[in-house]
């Protein structure tokens, strides 16, 4: 029975990773900061809530990093893997804390609070990585390069927050349905 459970989790993780990849790759809204907004964060959050912090984090990280590699953002792939892993894991852990000993786990509040915290992790993660990445590629004095990197990174925050909002909408729409499917096929989160 343990093998069957492990196989189901592996298959579910692969499916969610593919959904993260497709939803990140197919619909892209370019931003003036040379990034893009996508709906993949909804499936990043779903990965964490449906599969738990480790399996969900890995599914989210792999799907998102693969999208960066295929989409021409390969230099971002390692950071994306870690940031999306942490996003899914944060959502999962906070959701577990909020819903422990609760009858219903589909109440919007139980979904919204962990997803807001998780998307703040995503926004902060990209802000910090942008600063590090841009500091290394900028020429000039260290102080000027850092100031420029912080300014450019801050300019991306509103776009990351917009992406987070799209992700939370996808989560609120899809979680009630997918959680029932998950329970039906006994995909354990742990």
| 149, pLDDT greater than 90 | no
Give the architecture (CATH level 2) of 2-26+35-184.
Answer: Orthogonal Bundle (1.10)
* pLDDT-derived band at 190, boundaries 50, 70, 90: very low
Instruction: Taking each helix axis as running N to C, give the angle between helix 77-99 and helix 53-70, from 0 to 180 degrees, rounded to the nearest 10.
Output: 150
- Check residue 156 and give its pLDDT: 93
45/122 Cα distance (integer angstroms): 11
- Check residue 42 and give its pLDDT: 96
* pLDDT-derived band at 80, boundaries 50, 70, 90: very high
Please state, rounded to an integer, the average pLDDT across all residues of the chain: 89
Report field, pTM of the whole predicted structure over 0.75 = yes
> Residue 190 burial by CB count (10 A; 0-12/13-18/19+): exposed, middle or buried?
exposed
* pLDDT-derived band at 8, boundaries 50, 70, 90: confident
pLDDT tens for each residue of 11-61:
999 999 999 999 999 988 998 888 889 999 999 999 999 999 999 999 999
């Amino acid at each position: 029975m343990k093998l069957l459970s492990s196989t189901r989790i592996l298959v579910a993780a692969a499916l969610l990773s593919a959904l993260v990849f497709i939803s990140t790759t197919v619909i892209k809204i370019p931003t003036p900061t040379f990034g893009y907004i996508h709906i993949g964060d909804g499936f990043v959050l779903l990965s964490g809530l449906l599969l738990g912090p480790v399996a969900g984090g890995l599914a989210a990280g792999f799907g998102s990093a693969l999208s960066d590699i295929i989409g021409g953002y390969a230099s971002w792939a390692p950071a994306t893997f870690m940031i999306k892993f942490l996003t899914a894991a944060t959502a999962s852990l906070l959701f577990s804390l909020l819903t422990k000993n609760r009858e219903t786990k589909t109440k919007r509040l139980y979904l919204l609070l962990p997803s807001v915290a998780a998307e703040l992790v995503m926004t902060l993660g990209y802000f910090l990585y942008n600063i590090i990445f841009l500091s290394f590629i900028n020429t000039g004095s260290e102080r000027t390069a850092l100031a420029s990197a912080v300014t450019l990174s801050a300019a991306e925050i509103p776009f990351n927050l917009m992406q987070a909002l799209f992700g939370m909408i996808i989560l609120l729409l899809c979680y009630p349905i997918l959680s029932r499917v998950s329970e039906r096929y006994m995909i354990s989160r742990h």
